Structure 1
């Protein structure tokens, strides 16, 4: 494990965390992004309670995949064990974001999935953003943060396939967790999750009609999978 690898990952995770206030979905310090280096067996996460405008690369915490901190003087985010739980369960993901974005949190608090009501949702999520069962008293009493990740794993299934096509979940009464290929992608999914949650709330207030499945499928597959043709990867 080299320090230079940690420095690169720190820079990536710092940049993603600094985008949280710029994109607007979080209040105060209610959000964190992490990124993982699978080869080195470490992940980097925001420290607990540090304002974004004061956050520096040296503040970020480096932890092993067993949870032990190996670099960083500050306490890591209280959500660290939830991030670790998701990394352990889903080997394909490279970044995790948790933001208390208000519209997505509203669905989580109501214990309702974010429904697919249009193509904007279907561009990223191949189905509703699901909501977990509430944590039990036993799960809250011991290893609460790790168990928060485990209820997501139980919801999506251990094979990781659903996690690839719906890179987000709502923890009941808590809020959204999102993930992606790297830290930046996980934050992008968090921003999209909040946007479609807000759209869904407005649409439901007007009276929603579910779009045809073939239209939703077309929008998802033109951006994802072997036949994807949206965008110009590598152009910027």
Structure 2
């Protein structure tokens, strides 16, 4: 019943090491099926080279295992919170990419300095608040998801498909699991560019609003003209 969902999750997870987004067993991707209310996710602590499509664990939005014998990713509850909050997304990626994690550890949003950033979103990449001791002592993974949802309140998750969780690392999402990984790779590229920009010029200003609009709208919206129609 979940063969295709597990294959989607499997193929997306293999992109994490391929794209240099994590080492060893770090990171995870999930693929969500809104029709059945379940998602497939990487098993916890299993090296990417050992994964098979049938290795993926299928869980419901309450975190209960529906199919699979392995323990699902330790971040499963965070994924579930995001799927419950944003029912139109189809995939989530959590990586440990170096520059995105560095911004997270610095507890800083990633400023919008240039057109590469503006091609994908029109604002700084948000950062959550550091988690309180009380939240850490409750259900840490659920609280991580709730922090992301709280930070995105008032923002459009369909336009801002990436965030850095303070002291932790990046989470990205999209209509599919593959798009979530794509967004994670884009986030890492933007994070590195922003770091180098501030290293070269600590007083570098944000990109002009007119240039943001030009680059974003030529890829998105009804008047988009980038690529092949």
Pick the TM interval, shorter chain: over 0.9
Write out aligned runs for 1:62-73 (5 A): 62-73=58-69
- Alignment counterpart, residue 156 of structure 2, candidates 157, 162, 173: 162
- Counterpart-to-counterpart distance in 1, 2:186 and 2:39: 24
Q: CA deviation at 1:10?
A: 0.8
- Look up the match of 1:132: 128
Q: Matched residue of 1:43: which SS?
A: strand
CA RMSD of aligned residues (A): 1.1
Residue 110 of structure 2 is aligned to residue 114 of structure 1: yes
TM-score (norm 1): 0.93
Residue 209 of structure 2 is aligned to residue 217 of structure 1: no
Residue 174 of structure 2 is aligned to residue 180 of structure 1: yes
- Alignment counterpart, residue 90 of structure 1, candidates 73, 78, 86: 86
- Alignment counterpart, residue 56 of structure 2, candidates 37, 48, 60: 60
Residue 208 of structure 2 is aligned to residue 200 of structure 1: no
Q: Matched residue of 2:186: which SS?
A: helix
- Look up the match of 2:96: 100
Q: CA deviation at 1:127?
A: 0.7
- Counterpart-to-counterpart distance in 1, 2:196 and 2:74: 32
Q: CA deviation at 1:205?
A: 0.7
Q: CA deviation at 1:138?
A: 1.6
Q: How many residues align?
A: 227
- Alignment counterpart, residue 3 of structure 2, candidates 1, 7, 12: 7
- Look up the match of 2:183: 189
- Alignment counterpart, residue 228 of structure 1, candidates 208, 219, 224: 224
Q: CA deviation at 1:211?
A: 1.8
- Look up the match of 2:28: 32
- Alignment counterpart, residue 81 of structure 1, candidates 56, 77, 80: 77
Gaps of 5+ in 2: none
- Look up the match of 1:42: 38
Encode CA deviations 1:140-161: one digit per residue, 9 max, x unaligned.
111110110100100001x7x5
Q: Matched residue of 1:154: which SS?
A: helix
Encode CA deviations 1:57-92: one digit per residue, 9 max, x unaligned.
111000012211011111100000001111111112
Q: Matched residue of 1:170: which SS?
A: strand
Q: CA deviation at 1:214?
A: 0.7
- Counterpart-to-counterpart distance in 2, 1:132 and 1:10: 30
- Look up the match of 2:148: 152
